[in-house]
Chains A and B, each alone.
Chain A
Amino acid sequence: QAVVTQEPSLTVSPGGTVTLTCGSSTGAVTSGHHPCWLQQRPGQAPRTLIYDTTNKHSWTPARFSGSLLGGRAALTLSGAQPEDEAEYYCLLSYTLDRRVFGGGTKVTVL
């Protein structure tokens, strides 16, 4: 079973930039893993920000972007806002029946 790893926690200053990453125990993350990024605020359902590496939904704030960086998937938040304080999860899809979430990154805006 593949293991997907994320930073447990990150802190960013208001207006600052932070990059979250998502790695795979099987090797480099590629576009073939179709990385997906979700945001979950306390007590709320998840909300998808990025799918298929770089694609945004209509509700995704422009300050969020997805990419591949050094063999990992990455979510960059540029110009952090207080409302961006949340848990962020990545999902990697290895096959149709093997889709694995990372353990989540808790982002604090402070």
Chain B
Amino acid sequence: QVQLVESGGGVVQPGGSLRLSCAASGFAFSSSNMHWVRQAPDKGLEWVTIIGSDGNAQFYADSVKGQFTVSRDNSKNTLYLQMNSLRPEDTAVYYCAKDVDWGFDYWGRGTLVTVSS
């Protein structure tokens, strides 16, 4: 069955960096566009980024452009999100999700990132 498992979250100081991972299984990862979506505590969802199946195209929300970098390793069926210069407002649960026709199908359970001193 399809599984998306995020990891790498934790507590980081403002200005710090963190790299999230999303391990995928049960589907053709190398043929799938992938998203990151985040949700601040008790807030709504915010789309963060999408990466094309071969990794050659990436698009970002304005709020993270120049700060976050999405990448993937299709040989490891893994999606990444490198987050730099973190701010308290980046505190959120970060979900990876598989793309389908401008939407999503499968979601991971998320990993919590807390930016705090």
Interfacial residues, chain A to chain B (CB-CB below 8 A):
1, 34, 36, 38, 40, 45-48, 50-52, 55, 57, 89, 91, 93, 96-104
Q: Provide the residues of chain B in CB contact with A100, threshold 8 Å.
A: 47
Question: B80 at the A/B interface (Cβ < 8 Å)?
Answer: no
Interface stretch of the complex, out of B15-23, B71-79, B82-90, B105-113: B105-113
Alpha-carbon separation in the docked complex, A18 to B103 (Å): 23
Alpha-carbon separation in the docked complex, A79 to B101 (Å): 28
Residue of B nearest to A1 (CB): B62
Q: Provide the residues of chain B in CB contact with A91, threshold 8 Å.
A: 45, 47, 103
Chosen A-B contacts, 11 in total, with CB atoms closer than 8 Å, are A36-B104, A45-B109, A46-B107, A51-B101, A55-B103, A89-B45, A91-B47, A93-B102, A97-B59, A99-B50, A101-B45
Alpha-carbon separation in the docked complex, A98 to B44 (Å): 17
Alpha-carbon separation in the docked complex, A46 to B97 (Å): 10
A52 touches B44 (CB 8 A): no
B62 to chain A, nearest CB (A): 7
A51 touches B44 (CB 8 A): no
Q: Provide the residues of chain B in CB contact with A96, threshold 8 Å.
A: 50, 59
